[in-house]
Amino acid sequence: MTNTVIFDIGGVLVPDKTDAINKAVAHSAGISLEKLVELLNPLQEDIIKGILSLLEGYSIVASSLPNYVDHNRLLKNHLYAYSYHNQIFPQVQSLIFQFRKNYRVIGLTNTETEIAEHNERNGLYDNFHKVYTSTGLGLMKPQREIYLAMLEKEKITSQEALFIDDKLANVKGALAVGIPSILYIGFTDLVEQLKQKGIV
């Protein structure tokens, strides 16, 4: 029986604006979006797991460019772009508040150290009873270990949880460890799927 509902955050509660953020950072670095992505890709897993901070990642990026670029400025522009686009979807927030009356509601998110700190400071994580971040766990979706770690910390079985994420790979990762899951494609569809599962 479900007693815990697990939400992804970026792409579900708030928009996933990775492309817009990368464009802003690339512009401030004076390089193309494609070049920035090429430089960041080898670092991405370490950044998401908290092995590298965003600042450290941007320092590596800046050091590989032919012209001097201040990595602190890259981080500043990243945080500014993230804040600008980080608007909560009110319908999803209302659903979370509704769930909190009868379920434990947690967040499970791939993030970066500075973004996690920003969201903690600005109250985004207060929408949940608890948030587990990739940087805090040193693990990332869709790797099975992150779902198992979350279940262990919550002291629940996979069948007591319901997972909601907008990325198919992450949903498949949760399903692989036995967690019933919903692929988020929009609010109306989410409510319909929740009704089918008897959750709302």
> Are 117 and 42 spatial neighbours (Cβ–Cβ below 8 Å)?
no
Q: Are 177 and 98 in the same domain?
A: yes
Report which of 49, 10, 72 is spatially closest to residue 139, judged by C-alpha positions: 49
Among 31, 50, 85, give the residue marking a domain's end.
Answer: 85
Q: Are 120 and 159 in the same domain?
A: yes
Q: Would the pLDDT of 4 be above 90?
A: yes
Among 48, 68, 85, give the residue marking a domain's end.
Answer: 85
Sign for the CA dihedral angle at 140, 7, 100, 154 comes to negative
Q: Are 192 and 113 in the same domain?
A: yes
Q: Any residues with CB less than 8 A from the CB of 104 and at least 6 apart, and which? A: 3, 4, 5, 129, 130, 154
Q: Are 65 and 114 in the same domain?
A: no
- Full domain range(s) for residue 60: 18-85
Task: State the average pLDDT over residues 66-86.
Answer: 95
Q: Are 114 and 74 in the same domain?
A: no
Tokens for 195, please give them: 């009704």
Secondary structure, 3-state, 12-75: CCECCCHHHHHHHHHHHHCCCHHHHHHHHHHHHHHHHCCCCCHHHHHHHHHHCCCCCCCHHHHH
Report which of 139, 173, 167 is spatially closest to residue 153, judged by C-alpha positions: 139
Residue 151 confidence class, pLDDT cut points 50, 70, 90: very high
Residue 97's Cβ-count burial label (10 Å; 0-12, 13-18, 19+) is exposed
- CA gap 198, 14 in Å, rounded: 25
Letter string b/e over residues 127-140, b meaning 16 or more CB atoms within 10 A of that residue's CB: bbbebbbbbebebb
Q: Are 150 and 162 in the same domain?
A: yes
Q: Are 65 and 99 in the same domain?
A: no
Amino acid at 94: S
Q: Are 100 and 33 in the same domain?
A: no
Q: Would the pLDDT of 3 be above 90?
A: yes
Q: Are 111 and 137 in the same domain?
A: yes
CATH number assigned to the domain comprising residue 146:
3.40.50.1000
- CA gap 181, 171 in Å, rounded: 6
Q: Are 60 and 156 in the same domain?
A: no
pTM over 0.75: yes
Q: Would the pLDDT of 200 be above 90?
A: no
Tokens for 169, please give them: 């790979």
Q: Which tens digit of pLDDT belongs to each residue from 116-146?
A: 999 999 999 999 999 999 999 999 999 999 9
What total of structural domains would you count in the chain?
Answer: 2
Q: Are 101 and 179 in the same domain?
A: yes
Tokens for 118, please give them: 């920003």
